Chains A and B, each alone.
Chain A
Amino acid sequence: MKFQLSVVTLCLLAAGGGAQAADPDLARNLAASCANCHGTDGHAVKGAGLDALAGMDKERTLQKLADFKSGVRPATIMHQIVKGYTDEQIELIANYFATQK
């Protein structure tokens, strides 16, 4: 019982770093919302006309999405979708795809 309590305490301490620390799957789950069009883990179907995001440089993804959000980069749909995500969420997504092989 004592051991279990100490585990709970440790978990609470670990969660103290904020919502992201408390939800280790958050980046994966957010990135999965892109997969319908951009492929599972960013591996888009080749030749289908949609960008593969797997392995894309994080800064490049962030710039692209920022340009969609600001309207600098013309789009049919991404300028509307990207506004549904906070900057923190976009950061997590860009990082997740950058680490996919």
Chain B
Amino acid sequence: MRTIDRRDFLKAGAAAAALASLGGCAGVGRKAGGHVAVVGGGYGGATVAKYLRLWSQGTVQVTLIERQPNFVSCPLSNLVIGGAATMAELTIGYDRLQTVWGVRLIRDEARAIDPANHRIRLAEGGDIRYDRLVLAPGIDFMWQEIPGLDNDTARSTVLHAWRAGPQTVALRKQLTDLPDGGIYAIAIPKAPYRCPPGPYERACLVAHYFKQHKPRSKVIILDANPEVVSKKALFAKAWSTLYPGIVEYRPNSEVKDIDAAGKTAVLEFDTCKADVLNVIPPQKAGDIAGQSGLRLINGRWVDIDWLTMEASDTPGVHVLGDAVFPAPAMPKSGHLANQHGKLAAAAILRLLAGDAPSQTPLLMNTCYSFVDPRHAMHVASVHRYDPASRLMQPVPGAGGLSVAHNETEGLLALGWAKNIWADTLS
């Protein structure tokens, strides 16, 4: 792979401008130019930044705004919580996006957008002007849904660990500090939420840790949903065969409030006291997307046009990843955020060149879940654009689940991670 320095960048831009002035047929030779600002360097934002540079051959300038110093993967972070991986293994720098792909990285936080004037305001860096904007902010939490979590003290005791980072490490510490015989309870919000199989995978990996090191300890799953949301039969089998007497699953158990000091979850008709209480609150689009006046569905997720990933009422502002209202049967996953990033990159380059976007986009998804540090299973799906509903729809007959968790897919899950990290960031 080649390195693009600033001089090449400018030369390439001039060449693109010359080409563009020659005109031509749709997509045949006409090159895109301009500046795209991307907010958020997760699976979606980093991918769109890289692919805009790759597919424009460096003629489109890309600025990535990210508040964290490094990318930290949520997928595989349950292995850290279970004691089978380290944070260092999930942490990747943004240096290759800059040195190999010529993405301009700004470590800052986006505070407000002004779509009419094509500007974005940063917390520290002033305003940035863009031709097109991509918001890939992931999720924020609906704290008001769990009143007892309205303060920092409670939030430092009752963790979510639903963004990989300091909370992942802190939850691991709570589990290692737990005496044998202690109870770990994990509360799952109603769907849709980030990573549908994630909470059940976490229950498995914590149960595995208990089985090895704290055999008298228990895992209680408080699920707000009427049944396991993803890979139901596969998880049920893992719990009954690998962790009998350790994992207890309670459906229709929505956490309405918590008593942080007493480590007690308050359900509608019941309470549940634990030694480690892990509450994943209900979620919504990340604040910069959710609070910028873009049209939301259910007041939570951004309504988008699936041909371009543009906010449906705000042309020029593309939103992707977990922040968007999910298409039918489409989970909120890192894999799909990466795929959204490619769909958006292809559409943005067409739009910048004055052409219509592709009318036949396709997305595919794979989510692996570990049941212990060596054995995993998958769910996969393929989604294509349906002009009648104007939505991405699952392709009938495609996709599916593993027959059972197995060691081969444990290795494939790790291989998946290495490849998607490279595809997203390198």
Contacts and interface: CB of A to CB of B under 8 A. Distances in A.
Q: Do A and B bind each other?
A: yes
A80 B50 CA distance: 28
Interface stretch (B192-200, B245-253, B393-401): B393-401
Interface stretch (B227-235, B277-285, B415-423): B415-423
B391 to A, nearest CB: 16
A30 B402 CA distance: 24
B409 interface: yes
Interface residues of B, number: 51
A11 B25 contact: yes
Contacts of B156: none
Interface residues of A, number: 36
Contact of A49 (B54, B342, B412): B412
Main secondary structure of the interface of B (DSSP, over half): mixed
B382 interface: yes
B346 A29 contact: yes
B364 A77 contact: no
B380 A29 contact: no
Interface string B87-104: 000000000000000000
Nearest to A29: B346
Contact of A76 (B25, B50, B384, B402): B402
B423 A40 contact: yes
A44 interface: yes
Contact of B358 (A29, A36, A45): A29
Interface in B357-400: 358-364, 366, 378, 380-384, 395, 397-400
B308 to A, nearest CB: 13
A81 B419 contact: no
Given A36-B419, A37-B366, A84 B395 contact: yes
Given A24-B28, A49-B415, A81-B399, A40 B358 contact: no
A89 interface: yes
Given A25-B358, A80-B380, A36 B399 contact: no
Interface string A1-32: 00000010011001100010011111011101
B26 interface: yes
B28 A14 contact: yes
A48 B419 contact: yes
Contact of B423 (A7, A36, A84, A89): A36
B155 to A, nearest CB: 33
B51 interface: yes
Nearest to A41: B54
B399 A48 contact: no
A50 B419 contact: yes
B55 interface: yes
B404 to A, nearest CB: 11
B23 to A, nearest CB: 6
Nearest to B361: A29
A39 interface: yes
A19 B360 contact: yes
A14 B24 CA distance: 11
B271 to A, nearest CB: 42
Interface in B1-41: 23-28
Given A19-B360, A33-B364, A84-B381, 7 more contacts: A24-B27, A26-B358, A28-B346, A30-B362, A39-B419, A77-B378, A77-B409
